[in-house]
Structure 1
Amino acid sequence: MVEVKRSDFLIKPFLKRNNFRAFYQIFTTLIPIISIWLVVYQIINHPFLLVIKIFLLIPIICLLTLFSSRTFSLMHDCGHNSLFTQSKLNRFFGFLLGLVNGIPQKSWSIDHAFHHRNNGNWEIYKGPIDVLSLEDYNSLSKREKIFYKLSRNWIMLFPGGFYYLVLKPRLGLIIIIFNFIKDISEETYIKIKNREISKLLAINSKVKPPFSDYGDNFSELFELIINNIVVIIGWIFMCKWFGLIFFLSFYSLLLTLSAAILISVFFVQHNYKNSYAKNTKNWNIVEGAILGSSNLDIPNWLNWFLADISFHSIHHLSERIPNYNLRACHKANIHLLHQSTFLKLSDFANCFKYIIWDNKNEKLIPIT
């Protein structure tokens, strides 16, 4: 690779954020979502035949899925503090957009920032599906290897998507509550047994669930609680409005498809042939951005729903560039990106083969 420094790129002019453009993006995303749900209500309450209702709802759920993906992409920008000019606005709308998909924005953004700090360093960050090193994979039993292959298959995008958006934030809160009660009980028993009643409140145990992105500190825990309260109240309201069975099935399918799209896009932007996959001692953050982040050659209409995250090398060079400036910044620096990977939709399927990290040769390899 010809050595390229971050200072070689024209970045500064594209860092400027614009509240008008940000508000425009928010409104042109949330208003259509509300309008589409109103249309859904009219369809299910109209005396159409069931087959006609299903026929009408299929394109609608596809459209809602795309808008759900866009809300997640805009939430992602808020997490980078790059959508609005003020941090407070990014936090507020990030939280609001997180409610649409049922995910706590702050916890997700902190976890995502870890990915940005270590992109291309596969010794530290194992990607969205926790890729195993070749050495670790070879140490598995035959049954464990089969399970690994199946659990990383592209078909798992769907149950994985359902878990990621529907179950995980709720399960995280349940485990936190369970651990907290358990720790209080254990501490209380020990204190009473040792007659240290005055120190009962000195509970220093962690209530962090077994997820890397939930409950790391009080502010994350607080947002997780508020997010769950508002989301569950919203679900109850929607169940009363649309009917329990219809809403839960329709909404679950919507979030499953949306998460599958997002996980798929994130995956192919970092797991692909010749992706940059270094050990810590050989890792360089600029090289990780250029060679470890693929750029997607996809239709403009699909780029709109993904908030131009397709221009991923530039995004990793500077996550503070607003999505509405990414395309222009990418074009201004295209002469420096000739070594980056550009993928078409037809290339996506091949990317899902690269689920082993050859740590000795520092590259991702397809599973055999």
Structure 2
Amino acid sequence: MIAQTPRLEIHPDRIAENAKVVYDLCHAHGAQVAAVGKVVCAHPEVIHAMLGAGADMVADSRIPNLASVAALGLERPSMLLRIPTPSAAHDVVRYADITLNSSLGSLTVLSDAARMLGVRHQAVLMIDVGDLREGVWPDQAPDVAKAAAALPHLDLVGVGANLACYGGVVPSVENMRMLVEVRDACREASGLELGLISGGNSSSLPLLASGDMPPEINHFRIGETVVLGSNVLDRSDWPGTRQDTVRLVTEIVELERKPSVPIGLRAQNAFGETVEFDDRGTRLRAICNIGRQDTSVDGILPHDPGIRVIGGSSDHLILDVEDATGDVRLGAEVAFTPNYGALLGLATSPYVEKIVRRG
């Protein structure tokens, strides 16, 4: 059977190798690991690889992804990373054992949903320690925790923080100690144990590897470093991991020599952008069958060092292949390594076939 294009080739065995390296680091610190599969849209082979490497629970931002994980029949807790939507509270409680929350209102809605479903729900109170995405401001957290302790069908099990996503704030000894101090204040105010302190995502791994992570931090939510083998603070290779875990393969649908600068009066493109072009003369250009509807075209790196991504429209990827070293012809395949943002789109797009490769 001929493999279709565009396709995303996934190597779960290689991802499992990466996971073992990262999870061993976390476990040596005495911390649990939530395996985050959202960048591959919770692909079942990747989830199995992560759990087989020792993940303690599965985490995702989307309820449909958690529902698909639940259908696999895996006996591990599930965590919803995205702030719960009140209108979807019943589905949240049904498919997520634990949620990350940033308001008493959300916790109350979840407690009510748990009552109606006849269950108890676990929650982590998120604290904003400087990145300015989700989280209760530190001085308000004890009051929220005290009120949450009175909710009849909800167990507040800990606190957490998110860093390096919105504001790019790097996890540090200072903001991690702040998280511990806020937990202690919440514990005193509420009388709850609050034993779980979730110290962030893959961006926390450099601090953990340095040996400076406070010992009280005992939970991490790890995705990108496992899937792509990258240090998310600078996108360098994470020590001991592989980067050949996923591959985008496209197909050349047009090959022509054309000028490198558009001809005629120019306005905004289809995405409202005014683009500047480098005049490199007449060049051999290829169009491939993928576009911005499926991925971030700025986030894919051609395997052929002689190929350069020029840009893309919603349906087409435009390449300069004048200096290509590989096969360049109509119908030839062109491979790329996607970064995190590009992979997120590829895995989500229904127009990109997903293929599992072994070995």
TM-score > 0.5 by shorter chain: no
Please, what TM-score do these two structures have when normalized by structure 2?
A: 0.22
Please, what TM-score do these two structures have when normalized by structure 1?
A: 0.22
Structure (1 or 2) with the greater strand fraction: 2
Structure (1 or 2) with the greater helix fraction: 1
